[in-house]
A and B are shown apart, each in its own frame.
Chain A
Amino acid sequence: NAGVTQTPKFQVLKTGQSMTLQCAQDMNHEYMSWYRQDPGMGLRLIHYSVGAGITDQGEVPNGYNVSRSTTEDFPLRLLSAAPSQTSVYFCASSLNLPPGLADVFRGEQFFGPGTRLTVL
């Protein structure tokens, strides 16, 4: 298994440009999510999905769009890049166990290697 893969590894954008960060997993996980990590800080949740066709907002969703047309893929779109979106972006996936069972049966999340984005 490749696990969680993210492309590209690095990207430089100009203010106002749009782009899509790709995330794919081959573990048949229903749950997928996107986090951003600013220097010296922990990860913050942007958007998440509990299955194909279902997405929801996390802590910092503004400026980002997501869709989930397949179980495997969960792309993150930046509509009009801003310097404040300079960050490292991580995608994660896990089984979507019912509330309560996720913790009993571990339900660990698997993270991708990240995409380092710079917006000038």
Chain B
Amino acid sequence: DAKTTQPNSMESNEEEPVHLPCNHSTISGTDYIHWYRQLPSQGPEYVIHGLTSNVNNRMASLAIAEDRKSSTLILHRATLRDAAVYYCILRDPSDYGNKLVFGAGTILRVKS
């Protein structure tokens, strides 16, 4: 599986945008970029995913670099509820089994 690199932690002020970076320089042409987050004392939850184009949903936006070697998860207005560990995961679509390989992720702290 291709590897991802994320900062250990980031801090944001409430109501401000947050940009969470992820480097994946060894990404293959067919790997999808998935983001999950884990709120304190809970299981992970899906946030967003994409292949090449930028993606938006009600939770966040995903900006993917043109060379696909990096991506950025954007929370448009951080709230205290967004404090969590954010995982950037690459998935090989030919992989049979829906497996997710988690790294250590980025701890996002949101200040009021």
Contacts and interface: CB of A to CB of B under 8 A. Distances in A.
Interface of A: 4, 31, 33, 35, 40-45, 48, 50, 56, 58-59, 90, 92, 94, 96-97, 99-104, 106-114
B104 A42 contact: yes
A43 B102 contact: yes
Given A92-B43, A112-B43, A114-B42, A50 B49 contact: no
A100 B94 contact: yes
The range of chain B's interface size is 20 to 34
16 contacts: A31-B98, A40-B104, A42-B102, A42-B105, A43-B44, A45-B100, A48-B97, A50-B97, A56-B97, A58-B99, A92-B43, A94-B98, A97-B98, A99-B95, A100-B93, A109-B98
Name the residue among B34, B51, B98, B104 with the largest chain A CB count within 10 angstroms. Answer: B98
Interface of B: 32, 34, 41-46, 49, 51, 87, 91, 93-105
A104 B104 contact: no
Nearest to A103: B32
Contacts, number: 73
B87 A42 contact: yes
A104 B95 CA distance: 13
Interface secondary structure of B, over-half rule: loop
Contacts of B95: 99
A111 B94 contact: no
Nearest to A111: B43
A31 B49 CA distance: 19
Contacts of B102: 35, 42-44
Contacts of B49: 103, 106, 108
A113 B50 CA distance: 26
Nearest to B42: A113
Contacts of B44: 43, 90, 92, 109, 111
Contacts of A97: 98
B104 A103 contact: no
B80 to A, nearest CB: 20
